[in-house]
Amino acid sequence: MDSTTVLDLFRRCEGLLEGHFQLSSGLHSGGYLQCARVLQHPEHAAALGAALAQQMARLGPAVVLSPALGGVVIGHEVARALGVRAVFAERRDGRLTLRRGFELAPGERVLVVEDVVTTGGSTRETIEVATAAGGTVVGAAAIIDRGAGPMTFDVPFDALARTPLPTYESAACPLCAAGQPVAKPGSRSA
């Protein structure tokens, strides 16, 4: 599955939005990727998961770890395609931690899977969760890398699609300056 196919799927499912958005990172953008609109269709989730699994299988993960809420569905589908288990981390008391009841064996090979990366902050935080739980992170993946340049981590990273969507600090946001109202559609919104 190539970048054009992925982005066409997002457009068909109305998952590529235009407007004025505040992202979960706090940055503002004129574009937003609403993965839930795509992943609500099991056939799309399965196809995207299988495509990511095919790209990342060479790393030999034993478990897929995703941050809740956005990464859970795609993480599960990647794990299914790889034939490994899927676990997730959730935010408690403002901190991302491994979900109660999930454990990683010492040195267990972990693949971190997200839906979309913009700054990489959530992926880095999830990598830290895996390491703190005793896992060995072998790679990270996402459906879409929307950052200004290709994302880099201390482990191999790949995305099915890359589409730079400019982001701005709120004080320098041209959409704010133009008086456009801002929407906060992200999974960390209240």
What's the CATH number where 146 sits? 3.40.50.2020
> Tokens 């890359």 identify what position?
162
Count CB-CB contacts under 10 A for residue 145: 24
What does the pLDDT look like over 16-71, one tens digit per residue? 999 999 987 788 999 999 999 999 999 999 999 999 999 999 999 999 999 988 89
Distance CA(88)–CA(51), nearest Å, equals 20
Residue 14 lies in a domain: no
Distance CA(167)–CA(161), nearest Å, equals 18
pTM (predicted TM-score): 0.89
Closest by CA to 154, choosing from 134, 133, 138, 132, is 138
Domain housing 77? 42-166
The SS3 call for residue 69 is coil
What does the pLDDT look like over 64-97, one tens digit per residue? 999 988 899 999 999 999 999 999 999 999 899 9
Residue 182 lies in a domain: no
Distance CA(190)–CA(187), nearest Å, equals 8
Q: How many domains does the chain have?
A: 1
